[in-house]
Amino acid sequence: MEDGKPGATYTYDVTKLDDQGLNQMRLELGDTSVENGRFSSALCDQEYEAMIKNEKSWRKAKYKCVCAIVSRLSYQVDYSVKSMSFSLSQRLEEWKKIKDDMESAFQTPSASFLKPENAGDGQHYFRLGLHHNPGHDRGDL
């Protein structure tokens, strides 16, 4: 049991940064401070690995990780004691911005056939005669 979570581990191996797994995800999200376990890391190893394993696309797995981090941070509140204060809501706002940016990227059409230069007539994807099939105009079907 580490830091109050049974079975939770927090590791980061800089020699495996292109492993398409835990280490690369931690690097891309900036969650590389694992020395203090759950107090310094956004998610534990098992949470990252589960989300990476359950998604076919790296982008979607990364988005799921960000959503989990936002969810976790949403319970943290700002507080102060005497001259010391913690503004934990700032962390949440930064992660929400990352999440919103990722959502915007998912909504941006990336299909190349929507570009006019990729249309059959060089102008439009939808055009007169789009469904016209010369072989079926003889009426023998």
Domain extent at residue 63: 14-110
Q: Which residues of the chain have pLDDT under 70?
A: 1-5, 108-128, 130, 135-141
Is residue 41 included in any domain, yes or no? yes
Q: Is residue 74 part of a domain?
A: yes
Give pLDDT tens digits for 97-123: 999 999 988 776 655 555 555 555 555
Q: Which amino acid is present at 14? A: V
Distance CA 70, CA 98 (A): 10
Domain count of the fold of the chain: 1
**β-strand partners of 80:** 85
Q: What is the pLDDT of residue 106?
A: 79
**Non-local CB neighbours of 45 within 8 Å, separated by 6+ positions:** 8, 9, 10, 11, 22
Task: Tell me how far apart the alpha carbons of residues 61 and 46 are, in angstroms, rounded to a whole number.
Answer: 14
Q: Rounded to 5 degrees, what angle do the CA atoms 127, 131, 136 make? A: 140
In a domain, 43, yes or no: yes
Strands (E), the chain: 79-81, 84-86
Q: Please tell me the predicted confidence (pLDDT) of residue 1.
A: 40
Residue 4 within a domain: no
pLDDT at position 112 is 53
2 located within any domain: no
Q: Is residue 63 part of a domain?
A: yes
Per-residue pLDDT at 6: 72
Residue 80, pLDDT score: 86
Residue 111 is predicted with a pLDDT of 56
pTM, to two decimals: 0.67
